[in-house]
Amino acid sequence: MKIVILGYGKMGHEVEQVALSRGHEVAYRIDTEQDWYRNIDGIADCDVVIEFSTPATAIANIEKCFELDIPMVIGTTGWYAQLDDISNRCKNEGHTLFYAPNFSIGMNFVFKLNKEMAKFAEKYDYQLDITETHHIHKLDKPSGTAVKLAEDIIDNNENYEYWMLDEDDETNVNNDKMLRVNSIREGEIFGIHEVNALSDCDEITLRHEAFSRKGFATGAVIAAEFIQDKKGIFTMEDLI
């Protein structure tokens, strides 16, 4: 494949190394809006855009790819409030978009385990909470991964109706229907996610820790391979 890397920071560099190791060509490395428009004709002839930028620029980047009708893999989170609108446009206009809150293959296995633990917790009266820890440079809070964990718990456990970031709970009221999410930003941690289940008898912790960015980059490149010759909107559940 001829790949465009949109957002040439630490993740972009990692995507480049994985793509080259899998036999692909990195045709363009785009880090500014000027880079995009300077190379727009060549970008239009490429096979896929892999995007890891910022929540503030994610929607504009998606729209740029839609305008060129080039398949896109987007690893940026923090824009999901507009997911329904983007999904509808993608389907109605015949574009291709692959998004995921986390591209790690291991984390996506944890997503499956989390759904089962949510059901178990409801049946056997365990209280659940989520803690996520990331490096100090991460802009969105909580992480998109933590949001997915929380929403999957709510979908699979009738004891919870909504989630709240712990620091936003000014009343500090113990509402049984609220799922607490704690976000920590420290050091250069690549990503730790924990779902904790507590009962009067014991405690269970479902935990995933990323040791580097390679797992996220590998999943993103595999996703780019997966959507070749496909139309529509896809997630890691489709890939796995």
**pLDDT tens digits for range 4-23:** 999 999 999 999 999 999 99
Of residues 95, 138, 148, 193, which has the active-site annotation? 138
**What predicted TM-score, i.e. pTM, was given to this entire model?**
0.82
For tokens 């060129």, name the residue: 68
> Is 137 annotated as catalytic?
no
> Is 91 annotated as catalytic?
no
- What pLDDT does 43 receive? 97
CATH topology of domain 2-103+214-239: Rossmann fold (3.40.50)
Please list the ranges in the chain whose pLDDT falls under 70: 169-174
21 token code pair: 């190791």
Give the 3-state secondary structure of residue 51: strand
Compute the distance between CA of residue 160 and CA of residue 127 in angstroms, rounded to an integer. 10
**What is the β-pairing status of strands 203-209 and 48-51?**
unpaired
- What pLDDT does 166 receive? 82
Say if domain 105-209 classifies as CATH 3.30.360.10.
yes
Q: Cβ(179)–Cβ(153) under 8 Å? A: yes
- What pLDDT does 72 receive? 98
Model confidence pLDDT, tens digit, residues 144-163: 899 999 999 999 999 999 99
- What pLDDT does 171 receive? 59
Of residues 24, 64, 95, 134, which has the active-site annotation? 134
**Domain extent listing, the chain:** 2-103+214-239, 105-209
Compute the distance between CA of residue 148 and CA of residue 230 in angstroms, rounded to an integer. 25
